[in-house]
Every structure is written in structure tokens, then in C-alpha cells.
Amino acid sequence: MIIPPMLNTAIKAARRAATIINRASFDVSLLKVSKKSHNDFVTEVDKAAEDAIIDVLKNAYPDHAILAEESGASDNLHDENENVWIIDPLDGTTNFIHGFPQYCVSIALQQRGIITQAVVYDPTRNDLFTASKGAGAYLNEKRIRVGKRDKIADALIGTGFPFRDLDGLNEYVTMFKVMTEHSAGLRRPGAAALDLAYA
């Protein structure tokens, strides 16, 4: 597997963020946690991990724009950007602060409006998912493909529920019931990027 330079930079950035996350996971009770809104948390770890990612990316590609979960858009982000890095430094923050080991670092590169490189790194399992447009997807440098199940009755379904606005919760619970009755199982682990990677 030949790793493109931009993907290699994203991997380096994800691993640097994971070092910060892993260190903090030893005693999450010491972390400063604040609420962005109902059921939406941010920690000092999210911010430190994001800063580490941005540092790696900016050192390698100083002219690239950044759209990040915590710090928002970089000053040079505009509609005409050729290269935009999209960052979620800790997808699954609620899981992290509760000691549930289902969270990850997610980094993607959008070039001329199209995602061309992506990294999802699970620091608890040391699982590295990577993908490059036209070159397939990999887990720890081994090629992966979407499963061959083509019937819902045979499929294990990953999902998520809105956690900020709970107005439609009754409808979601009804859908959850129907899908549970008609599939091999339904999971809601709480880290969307990992859910997508495992698909």
C-alpha cells in the first residue's frame, strides 16, 4: 500500500491527537468539561487534540484552509478554497468523558469540493481506518470492503439519534423498534465516524 503524502500527514496528525486523548483517558475525572448545549459536551482534551492536529497540518500545508469542530473555520476559508481539512478531534466526547471506549479522531481532506483523503483513528484499539479517492479503504493497512449482505433482515445496523433537539424522539424510538424487529440487530455506539468506518 502506497500512502499518498497528504494522507500520511493526516495519519501523523491523528496519531498526535490520539497521544493527547490516551493520556487524558487515564483519569477523565480530572478533566474540565463544559456544555455546548444539552447533551453536547466539550473538554480541554477536544481542544488540545484539535490544536495538535492543526499544528501538524499547518506545518505541512500552511496555505490550506481548516474547518474544525471546536475552533471553527480558519481565517483563510472561503468558497474558492482548493484544499480544506475537516477535523473532529474527538468524535464521541460523551463516551470519552464517561469512560466508554468508543471514540475516535476524524480527519478528512476536501479538494475542490470533493473528499479525497480520510482518516478515522480509534486510539483505544489502535485501529487506523484510511481511504483515498479511487484507491479504496483500509483498516491497519489491510484492504476492507463493504459487507455483502443486501437484505435488512440479515444486516447489523448502526445508527444515531439527534442529541441536541429531542422534539422528534418519539418518532425515532418508533423507527428504532421497527428496525430492531426487521434486522439482525441495531447498534447506537455514539461515535458516528467509527460507525461509518465499520460499515
Looking at every residue in the chain, the average pLDDT score rounds to: 89
Give the integer Cα–Cα distance in Å for 143 and 184: 25
- The phi, psi pair for 117, rounded to 5°, reads -135, 145
* Fold of domain 152-198: D-Maltodextrin-Binding Protein; domain 2 (3.40.190)
**152-198 matches 5-144 in CATH topology:** no
58: left (phi over 0), alpha (psi -120 to 50) or beta: alpha
Give the integer Cα–Cα distance in Å for 76 and 114: 18
178-194 pLDDT, tens digit per residue, is 999 999 998 889 999 99
pLDDT score of 39: 46
156-175 pLDDT, tens digit per residue, is 988 887 766 778 888 988 98
0.85 cut: is pTM over it?
A: yes
Domain residue spans of the chain: 5-144, 152-198
**Given 3-state DSSP classes, what are the helix, strand and coil percentages for the chain, each rounded to the nearest 5?**
35, 30, 35
CATH entry 3.50.50.100 includes domain 5-144:
no
